[in-house]
Structure 1
Amino acid sequence: MNDTVKKGIKRKTLLMLMALGVILPNIFALIAWYSLDSDPGAADKPLQSFLYIAVFNIAYAILGGTMAVLKTHNPLYKLTLAAEQLAEGNLNVACNYHGIEEIDRLVTAFENIRNSMSNSYGAIQEYIDELRGRVEELKLLTDIDAAILGGQKIDSIFNLITEGICKLVGADYCCIALLDGDKHIQIRSLHGFGPDESREFIRGIRGKTPSINICPSIASGQILLLGDLNDSNLSDDVRQMYARFNVKSMIAAPLSVDGEPIGSVVVWYKDRQEFSDMVVNRFLLFADQISVALKSARLVDGIRNLTIEVIRALAKAVDARDSYTANHSNRVSRFAVALAQGLGMNQKEVETIEYAGLLHDIGKIGIDERILNKPGALTEQEMELMKSHASMSADIVKPIEFLKGAVPIVKHHHEWFNGGGYPSGLAGDAIPYGARILAVADAIEAMTSSRPYREEMPLRQGAEQLKSGSGTQFDPEIVEVMLKVVERIELIESFDSENGSDDDKPQIGFEDAV
């Protein structure tokens, strides 16, 4: 007997019981009236009997109606609540009532709607997740392109890529390794490792060749997918190292430039993986992007190095016009770099200071040599012309895009901390920080070099002279750092050009001083 037949029988039985509930009281009423006719003493009971029967019928009707309402109202109320939750996005809501056939049909329709919405929501959510991943891919690619075009250092670009790859493919660790001239692996970027872990990892592969399978894709030239490292053919030392980092699976892809293998990019997972096509494709996409970044970085570095050589040549050409200032710009640049490092400036800021030091006097190319080499005091007019070299230097540097940060440093390196300098009479913090550094570097180089009007000072004596100008001509903070640099330099060769070529002189820097 199927469910439909059972429900029909239940429904008919209920209707029969309700009919009996109405018929029986009326039968009792007829019997009561018959009794009145046969019993003369019961003449005073008709009204009472009638009232009993009426009350019984009313009570039965109320009870039956209430039961019928409850039998339909409760499930309808629950179904309404479930529908409201479904409308709010709760796809796990259930309505398990079964009873009256019409209510059952409503419940079945509700469940069908819920299941359809759940299936559709799952598909939509998958699409949204994929779309979100695509957006993240495009954002990272855009950031990488911007970093390359912006001339950022290649290691900074690598750090950006390793962090992005880990996020996009859900990896725990990422590494970019390149081959040096001896075909040894050099780690260029790590992500996901702590400081101690990074040092341990680098020590573990230092000087090793690709044959040890740290980056096995280098040798094979193909992508390597290892969903379970226990089932792989990795060498024992590599297994041991991976075990220390609790990695269970990995992906590795080769890096190449113009068909030449140059390294590998690797990601590791702490869990065993079954790599989807989406993960593999994303990984390969960014492996290709790393190769593009490397090629672009080589081109950018080549252009940058050529530009720097041109800058050095220009600086030497300017210095050569005055025999007493030969190599002055190069030495000022070295002092400025030492100060910038000592003040904790980042690499890009230090580079800007270095370029500014090389170019700070390039405007003297427009000053008459008779003024530059005049042994005596300059006239007021000659002094004003000499002072113009700072602004002229800035004007010459300004059109070069990647030297834009050096322009205010070059222009204001003759400002005084108390406002008594030139060309703008700036004071204190209004003077660009790099210009305050360059002012100290320029001064100590000038004091420790020979001039037509005096002999060169020993380096320590020049440092003491800086102290006398601290707070008036120079920023006191920068003077203090310069004193520390001087104190820690154990051996400084003479900066005079007579003591050898510039190539023979030591590179002065804060690290050397320490």
Structure 2
Amino acid sequence: MTVLGIRGTAFRFWLALTALSLAGILVMAGYFIRTEGALLEAALRNEALAGANLLASAVGSDVQGGDVDRINSLSWALLNQPNIQYVRVIDANGRVMTQREKAHYVADVLTVQVPVLAMDKKLGMVEIAVRMTELRKQQKYRFDYTVAVACLASLGAGAFAAWVSRRLTLPLVRLTEAARRVADGDRAVCVPEVGTGETAALAAAFNQMAAAVADHRASLQAEIRKATISLAEKVETLEAMDRIFRSVMAQNARRDEVIKTLISHIQARVTADALFIAVWDEGTKTAEFYMWEGRSTGIVTDSVPLDQTRLPAVADEGQPRICADLSREDLCPQEEEFLALGYHSIVYVPVMAGDKALGTIIVSNREAGFYADGTVDRLMELAQAIAIALKSAHAYASLNSAFWQMIRTLSRAIDMRDAYTGGHSEQVMLLSRTIARLAGLSDSEIETVGIAGLLHDVGKIGIRESILQKPGPLSAAEFNEMKSHSALGAELLRPIGLFRNVADIVYHHHEHYDGRGYPVGLAGENIPIASRVIAIADAIDAMASSRPYRKGLPPDVIREELRKHAGAQFDPRLVEIVLRHFDELITVVSRTADKAV
């Protein structure tokens, strides 16, 4: 029931109690008025009867003797009384012997008759009329008094009814209002324990209930907050894992880049003064540590023998390990270094792929006892994503190694067809990658340039060996056939999805910057930048290599040739970069000057 409902009930209770009290008062007042009126009238009648009896007893002999004068005299004496209107004496025959009345006529009178007797013989009758004026005044006074008393009593009854109603309903109103406040979340609700014994007991019980509800609500809210925080952490962890997967996919799963990305995500999720991801190879018995330290910039790497770390023990257990205070632990050599650097709290979390450990996450803090189970839970969740990322990195590394091995094998097979150019493709690949890096190309572009460098002469597989192995200069026809190797190479590579970009680079690697090259005569910036890079690398290695008809050219001559053909055969900007770093590039050419081409 609402407060308004209780107040409506209270009003109806007050109205009913007031009406009942008023009805009782009115009944009592009516009864009093009627009783008082009857008493006044009886008193007036008795007064008239007394006068009539007195006159009747006094005029008995006079009526019998016919002494009218005496009767008149006695009548006048009786008429002097203030309430008597008239006095009348009647003989036995009904004749009025005398009648005396006041001059002022009043119609409202009370008439009484008393017989005149003598020896039980009726001689006549005395009739007296008494004025009702005073009686009516008395009755009105009594009525007004009674009404006034009744009104006062009604007001008192109404006030009493209101007091009773309020006393009975106010505790209910307070309880209802308190219940509404409890429902609205007010925890400081207390109902005064006043009123009757029942209402006070009810208020006390309600206060106990409200306190219990407040405690339960506080406990529930604490649980909700805890669950909300836990859910937020779970969502944040899932988002972090999603970002990890996206980053791994974007970086083609190279281990170094993947681990650096993983460290940045862990750093955002866990408070640490230093953070490590360690991966190891059972064959070498060394662990590669990737470390971020709060006071330094960037990520550094270090190789540490496994037997100097706690990693094998953590991997064997397959469970996290918390070192609350290194100063109280039995330390391994690496942990002694950690303690010397000021780190006291350390958490180890293994990164597991099934029963096999791929690595370990290590977080440390300079404050002892800093880490609790919550940190371990977050790291364990991240370790699942890290395990997938490291497995992907390992798989990519194996696939990438096989891929490059295949390309190198293919390039060596091509070089073996030309007895004078053994190892040429490998040298062009190394030079191209270095020039591309110096020119500011991206990592993916550098990798593509390296592949194209290895495969730039793949089209020679379609050139006759007599031309490839000819010791002297080629004829015009032979040179034209030799020039077709770039188109043949592109034709061989283009059907392979991974090599479509490489095919275009191979196709144009003999174009000249001035447009006089082949196969289509592209010029300037229309030539792919990777093709321009390979053109310079190919020329450097060719000039540095020995031929049957000449020795390899000295570095100064190679430098001069590059300068001479800048803007004609070669991109002048790339030539400028090559000349600026020429000493670094010439050391890449590892073949001896007298090696056969």
TM range (shorter): 0.5 to 0.7
Shift, 1:339, TM fit? 0.8
- 1:304 is aligned to 2:403: yes
- Superposed CA deviations along residues 284-315 of structure 1, whole A, max 9, x for unmatched, are 64675477457535632552353143133134
Give the aligned partner of residue 325 of structure 2. Answer: 229
SS in 2 for 1:415: coil
Q: Distance in 1 between matches of 2:376 and 2:589?
A: 64
Give the aligned partner of residue 64 of structure 1. Answer: none
- 1:459 is aligned to 2:559: no
Label 1:268 to 1:18 Cα distance change in 2 as closer, same or farther (>3 A): farther
Match of 1:156 among 228, 253, 257: 257
Match of 2:242 among 139, 156, 161: 139
* Mean CA deviation greater in 296-305 or 407-416: 296-305
Contact 1:255 1:290 in 2 (8 A): no
Within-5 A mapping of 1:376-395: 376=474, 378-379=476-477, 383=480, 385-395=481-491
Q: Distance in 2 between matches of 1:407 and 1:80?
A: 79
SS in 1 for 2:535: helix
- Name the amino acid aligned to 2:511: E
- Superposed CA deviations along residues 82-116 of structure 1, whole A, max 9, x for unmatched, are 97x8xxxxxx76574747999x89x969x689779
TM-score normalized by the length of structure 2 = 0.56
Q: Distance in 2 between matches of 1:93 and 1:429?
A: 76
Q: Distance in 1 between matches of 2:516 and 2:596?
A: 36
Shift, 1:353, TM fit? 1.9
- Name the amino acid aligned to 1:274: D
Give the aligned partner of residue 413 of structure 2. Answer: 314
Shift, 1:366, TM fit? 1.5
Contact 1:363 1:396 in 2 (8 A): yes
Contact 1:218 1:263 in 2 (8 A): no
- Superposed CA deviations along residues 122-158 of structure 1, whole A, max 9, x for unmatched, are 58636744752673476368558857xx863332333
- Superposed CA deviations along residues 150-207 of structure 1, whole A, max 9, x for unmatched, are 86333233334444455567766232142586634432x23455546966xx6xxx67
Q: Distance in 1 between matches of 2:519 and 2:338?
A: 61
- Superposed CA deviations along residues 435-465 of structure 1, whole A, max 9, x for unmatched, are 2211222233344456799876433333333
Give the aligned partner of residue 49 of structure 1. Answer: none
Match of 2:437 among 333, 337, 341: 341
Aligned length: 466
Contact 2:552 2:594 in 1 (8 A): no
Shift, 1:351, TM fit? 3.2
Label 1:229 to 1:342 Cα distance change in 2 as closer, same or farther (>3 A): same
Label 1:245 to 1:414 Cα distance change in 2 as closer, same or farther (>3 A): farther
Contact 2:506 2:531 in 1 (8 A): yes
Shift, 1:483, TM fit? 0.5
Label 1:97 to 1:496 Cα distance change in 2 as closer, same or farther (>3 A): closer
Q: Distance in 1 between matches of 2:358 and 2:17?
A: 96
Label 1:197 to 1:462 Cα distance change in 2 as closer, same or farther (>3 A): closer
Q: Distance in 1 between matches of 2:473 and 2:505?
A: 29
Within-5 A mapping of 1:57-72: none
Contact 2:515 2:523 in 1 (8 A): yes
Shift, 1:485, TM fit? 1.9
- Superposed CA deviations along residues 48-85 of structure 1, whole A, max 9, x for unmatched, are xxxxxxxxxxxxxxxxxxxxxx99999999998997x8
Give the aligned partner of residue 335 of structure 2. Answer: 238
Give the aligned partner of residue 506 of structure 1. Answer: none
- Name the amino acid aligned to 2:561: Q
Task: Name the one with the larger strand percent.
Answer: 2
Q: Distance in 2 between matches of 1:490 and 1:472?
A: 21
Contact 1:418 1:471 in 2 (8 A): yes
SS in 1 for 2:409: helix
Q: Distance in 2 between matches of 1:79 and 1:394?
A: 85
Label 1:400 to 1:253 Cα distance change in 2 as closer, same or farther (>3 A): same
Q: Distance in 2 between matches of 1:219 and 1:128?
A: 29
Task: Name the one with the larger helix percent.
Answer: 1
- Which runs of 5 or more structure 2 residues have no equivalent in the other structure? 1-8, 23-32, 34-136, 141-169, 193-198
SS in 2 for 1:175: strand
Label 1:491 to 1:310 Cα distance change in 2 as closer, same or farther (>3 A): closer
Contact 1:332 1:445 in 2 (8 A): yes
- Superposed CA deviations along residues 217-263 of structure 1, whole A, max 9, x for unmatched, are 3686554512512443225873562463545231243879997x886
TM-score normalized by the length of structure 1 = 0.63
Match of 1:398 among 484, 491, 494: 494
Label 1:129 to 1:196 Cα distance change in 2 as closer, same or farther (>3 A): closer
Contact 2:407 2:455 in 1 (8 A): no
